[in-house]
Structure 1
């Protein structure tokens, strides 16, 4: 009898093992793709739905955003978000620096964080910022924070975001601004615990003076 046509069980097993070993990577790859697709789909659904958990994080320009529930105005759940570490007031978020630098560098620093030097539009905002600045350095004799107000020409002040400058809506210290031929930059001036004035504390100073700064960015509503 011719035994050439038979295949021994011992020779068949390696062929099956080779076949299975070639198939497993494809099964694994398909499974991974299916899991990734499901994950992306869930993320899109959550994003479009508008919120998740009590604290939702937004990522924009590698910035972590911290969110709190907004005052409900409708049946739809909403959140107010500021960059982590910033203080919120009304529709804006504020950052008080812990280091000092001249005006030009302060402008660049705020811009680099996707914000701008603060633009003050109301007494309520001025009061909020004064208390914030006063509380940041309680032991300092005096502290100055750059705001986004610059006299590009003598006597002609301009906000960094092009908001019209209205003299009636400003908070200069008595006798300020002065020496406009040289002192063309504005700062909130706080004298530690001895300063009880909420308003009238702006001071114009030399732009190369190293001061702290207040950056502002619009809050996000989701």
Structure 2
């Protein structure tokens, strides 16, 4: 007798449905892509570095020749012939101190002693055209140098310096340097301090005290400019 297989549907009370485990979506990994630069950027940086190096080299080569002191370039352009002497002890460099040919040098200044005569105003203009001014005397050593130069030149008798009075007895230098009575070199009995003598000249004598107040008429002159260094 063939056996029969019976299927039955069985339900269990209080059975909970199968737990559903929720799996969080896979976290996306952040991919780190290298930052991209323009292909020409390294070339630009290299070019800039090269230009900086060239600029530094040029500055080092030009610097020794660029010393001009306080002297305007116009003076160097005006004169084509110069007389230079070493400004430093031998073996310590190639710095030179130069004055236009025909000018006299003392310390850091150049002096032009004229061989012609002009009134005061024209004398001022003449020095200005040469990028200089009527001499301003600041020390006894400078005064002694000029006295010796005038004694040797034997060209004129009286030479304008850059000292003048706008009011009788009130002396002023052309560059506004304060007038110092204790550093003045007046001849004995000078200045006269009269209205007709408002300009100052150096009288060519061996005495270091050789300033006279004089009429502002035609006299020789002394111009001064800063020496050019190179």
| TM-score category (smaller protein) | 0.5 to 0.7
CA RMSD of aligned residues (A): 2.5
Q: Specify the alignment match of 1:165 in structure 2.
A: 179
Within 2, Cα distance between the matches of 1:178 and 1:60?
40
String of CA shifts for 1:25-73, please: whole Å, max 9, x gaps.
xxxxxxxxxxxxxxxxxxx99755539xxxxxx9723213322211239
Q: Which moved more, 1:89-98 or 1:74-83?
A: 74-83
Within 2, Cα distance between the matches of 1:167 and 1:74?
42
The residue matched to 1:81 in structure 2 has which SS? strand
Structure 1 residues 76 and 196, CA gap change in structure 2 (3 angstroms): closer
Structure 1 residues 196 and 60, CA gap change in structure 2 (3 angstroms): closer
Shift of 1:76: 3.1
Contact 1:94 1:215 (C-alpha < 8 Å) held by counterparts: yes
Within 2, Cα distance between the matches of 1:74 and 1:158?
43
Q: Which of 199, 205, 212 matches 2:220? A: 212
Aligned length: 165
Q: Specify the alignment match of 2:192 in structure 1.
A: 178
Within 2, Cα distance between the matches of 1:48 and 1:215?
30
The residue matched to 1:214 in structure 2 has which SS? strand
Q: Specify the alignment match of 2:3 in structure 1.
A: none
Q: Which of 157, 162, 165 matches 1:151? A: 165
Within 1, Cα distance between the matches of 2:99 and 2:211?
26
Q: Specify the alignment match of 1:37 in structure 2.
A: none
Contact 1:72 1:78 (C-alpha < 8 Å) held by counterparts: no
Contact 2:151 2:206 (C-alpha < 8 Å) held by counterparts: no
Shift of 1:96: 0.3
Structure 1 residues 180 and 46, CA gap change in structure 2 (3 angstroms): farther
State the TM-score, normalizing by the size of structure 2. 0.65
Unaligned runs of 5+ in 2: 1-58, 67-72
State the TM-score, normalizing by the size of structure 1. 0.68
Unaligned runs of 5+ in 1: 1-43, 52-57
String of CA shifts for 1:66-117, please: whole Å, max 9, x gaps.
2221123984321111112111001100000010111111000000100000
The residue matched to 2:221 in structure 1 has which SS? strand
Within 2, Cα distance between the matches of 1:130 and 1:177?
18
**Structure with more helix by fraction:** 1
Contact 2:88 2:94 (C-alpha < 8 Å) held by counterparts: no
In the alignment, structure 1 residue 91 sits paired with structure 2 residue 105:
no
